[in-house]
């Protein structure tokens, strides 16, 4: 019997994502001027207020208030009527030095023997149901909000949009796990006030269905375009009015959207958040590394769907173990345990090896903090950073290195494919 599966996404203007983006902007600035910085930054945003807290060990000094304000303005909170804007909000910093007790478990005489920054388990997942090896419901949810943000910035076809929004997509699958159709789409978007509530709701619904969705569909491959039809159930701003939003409507915190950040509920999640953490924290780096493994395994033909788990003890260099689940989709006669044994020989999962392989000690994290950390485009961009006393640095950095299919040949060789 067919079944339904749902995933959601939230926009860059969602309060939790505002917090994530501020935390990761701080990470990028610290790494730009001191690539060995150890940082764990948390952000809270609410009406007219930003609170920064966390632990840092770095040789650089930053104007954290300016970084927070610039991030907020870039997102689009630039008007006093939002009750939260980058130019006028208060910014309180309670950032202090990293605990020596934690640091001693990470630093070693040689970087190759660097211990894990924390204990825990991390998961990576990949499926061949989309071109970027991501679950379809989450991929479409992200695409809807990315396009909605484009419409907001263009301020042409839809002129009343505000930064906060959410989306949700429900997919119908066949018994053999093949997407059949889109059952329902939910979009809730913050908007300017209207004189008449009924007119407002009708216009927003029409604009989402007639302007936003066709733009999303036009950018999809043909096989996914066919999933859209006139039978889709649309729920557009189902509560009605959504004028009060962003950090004024809900307090935002770093690390509260971990399922949006990963696989939309498919596969698994170890529980650790990503944003605000430098790559010595395996919550982040090992989650990227396991995604890299899963994606390359699926692309190499080891399975149609793969879940990878790795676990660590704080201060210990070698992982506790690697677990593989192919959900019965491996086309050749090999157990998941046998696959895991080969994977552990192909991919070095020591923390420093992960940092080196994926180039994680670069300022690459601001781009991860909205619309998902996985399934994104691997590309090289130029970024410029400034310190309070006038020093400016421009760097070419490679984004989303964990999305590269650079280990496919190695995987094929290891599995004799």
Mean pLDDT throughout 253-281?
A: 97
392, 280 contact by CB (below 8 A): no
Q: Is 398 annotated as a binding residue?
A: no
Query: Which pLDDT does position 104 carry in this prediction?
Result: 55
In this structure, are strands 392-399 and 379-386 parallel, antiparallel, or unpaired?
A: antiparallel
Q: Is 241 annotated as a binding residue?
A: yes
Residues 6+ apart with CB under 8 A from 194: 160, 200, 203
Supply the mean pLDDT for the chain. 95
Q: Is 242 annotated as a binding residue?
A: yes
Could you give phi then psi for residue 223, rounded to 5 degrees? -65, -25
Domains and CATH numbers, the chain: 3-9+135-244 (3.30.300.10), 120-128+279-414 (3.30.300.10)
Q: Is 404 annotated as a binding residue?
A: no
d(CA 330, CA 347): 19
pLDDT one-digit tens code per residue, 120-156:
999 999 999 999 999 999 999 999 999 999 999 999 9
pLDDT one-digit tens code per residue, 150-164:
999 999 999 999 999
pTM for this structure? Answer: 0.96
Residues linked to residue 268 through DSSP beta bridges, in sequence order: none
Q: Is 295 annotated as a binding residue?
A: no
Q: What is the dihedral of CA 46, 52, 54, 57, to 10 degrees?
A: 160
Burial label for 304, CB within 10 Å (0-12, 13-18, 19+), is: middle
Q: Is 250 annotated as a binding residue?
A: yes
pLDDT at 107 over 80: no
Q: Is 257 annotated as a binding residue?
A: yes
Residues in the chain: 417
pLDDT band for position 198 (50/70/90)?
Answer: confident
Give the angle subtended at the CA of 228 by the CAs of 224 and 231, to the nearest 5°: 155
Q: Is 383 annotated as a binding residue?
A: no
138, 264 contact by CB (below 8 A): yes
Cβ atoms within 10 A of the Cβ of 46, count?
Answer: 20
Q: Is 180 annotated as a binding residue?
A: no
Query: Which pLDDT does position 315 carry in this prediction?
Result: 87
Q: Is 8 annotated as a binding residue?
A: no
Helix (H) or strand (E) holding 298: helix 282-300
pLDDT band for position 357 (50/70/90)?
Answer: very high
pLDDT band for position 114 (50/70/90)?
Answer: confident
Residues linked to residue 40 through DSSP beta bridges, in sequence order: 55, 277
pLDDT one-digit tens code per residue, 381-406:
999 999 988 889 999 999 999 999 99
d(CA 236, CA 211): 13
Rg of the chain over CA atoms, in angstroms? Answer: 22
Residues linked to residue 179 through DSSP beta bridges, in sequence order: 173
92, 77 contact by CB (below 8 A): no
Q: Is 175 annotated as a binding residue?
A: no
138, 128 contact by CB (below 8 A): no
Say which residue, 238 or 106, is predicted with more confidence. Answer: 238
Between the alpha carbon of residue 240 and those of residues 83, 141, 273, 307, 351, the distances in Å are 20, 20, 32, 39, 48
10, 257 contact by CB (below 8 A): yes
Q: Is 66 annotated as a binding residue?
A: no
> In terms of Cα–Cα distance, which of 142, 171, 129 is closest to 5?
171
> In terms of Cα–Cα distance, which of 32, 51, 34, 31 is closest to 43?
51
φ/ψ bin of 144: left (φ > 0), alpha (ψ from -120 to 50), beta (otherwise): alpha
């Amino acid at each position: 019997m067919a079944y339904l599966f749902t995933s959601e996404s939230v926009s860059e203007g969602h309060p939790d994502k505002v917090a994530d983006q501020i935390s990761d902007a701080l990470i990028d600035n610290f790494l730009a001027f001191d690539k060995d910085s150890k940082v764990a930054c948390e952000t809270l945003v609410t009406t007219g207020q930003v609170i920064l807290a966390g632990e840092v060990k770095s040789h650089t000094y930053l104007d954290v208030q300016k970084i927070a304000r610039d991030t907020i303005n870039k997102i689009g909170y630039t008007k006093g009527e939002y009750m939260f804007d980058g130019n006028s909000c208060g910014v309180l910093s309670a950032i202090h030095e990293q605990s020596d007790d934690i640091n001693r478990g990470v630093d070693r005489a040689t970087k190759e023997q660097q211990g894990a920054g924390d204990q825990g388990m991390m998961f990576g997942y990949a499926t061949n149901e989309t071109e970027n090896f991501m679950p379809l419901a989450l991929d479409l949810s992200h695409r809807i909000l990315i396009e909605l943000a484009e419409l907001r910035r263009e301020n042409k076809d839809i002129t009343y949009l505000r930064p906060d929004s959410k989306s949700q997509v429900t997919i119908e699958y066949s018994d053999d796990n093949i997407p059949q159709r889109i059952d329902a789409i939910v979009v809730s978007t913050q908007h300017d006030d209207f004189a008449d509530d009924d007119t407002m709701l009708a216009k927003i619904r029409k604009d989402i269905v007639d302007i936003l969705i066709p733009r999303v569909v036009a950018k999809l491959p043909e096989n996914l375009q066919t999933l859209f039809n006139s039978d889709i159930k649309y729920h557009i701003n189902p509560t009605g009015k959504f004028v009060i939003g962003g950090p004024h409507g809900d307090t935002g915190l770093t690390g509260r959207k971990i399922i949006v950040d990963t696989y939309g509920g498919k596969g698994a999640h170890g529980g650790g958040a990503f944003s605000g953490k430098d790559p010595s924290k395996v919550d982040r780096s090992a989650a990227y590394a396991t995604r890299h493994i899963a994606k390359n395994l699926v692309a190499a033909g080891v399975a149609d769907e793969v879940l990878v788990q790795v676990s660590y003890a704080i201060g210990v260099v070698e992982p506790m173990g690697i677990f593989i689940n192919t959900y019965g989709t491996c086309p050749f006669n090999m157990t998941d345990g046998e696959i895991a044994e080969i994977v552990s020989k192909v991919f070095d999962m020591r923390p420093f090896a992960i940092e080196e392989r994926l180039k994680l000690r670069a300022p690459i994290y601001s781009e991860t903090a909205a619309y998902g950390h996985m399934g994104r485009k691997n590309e090289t961009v130029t970024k410029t950073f400034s310190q309070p006393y006038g020093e400016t640095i421009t760097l070419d950095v490679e984004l989303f290195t964990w999305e590269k299919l650079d280990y496919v040949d190695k995987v094929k060789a290891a599995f004799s494919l």
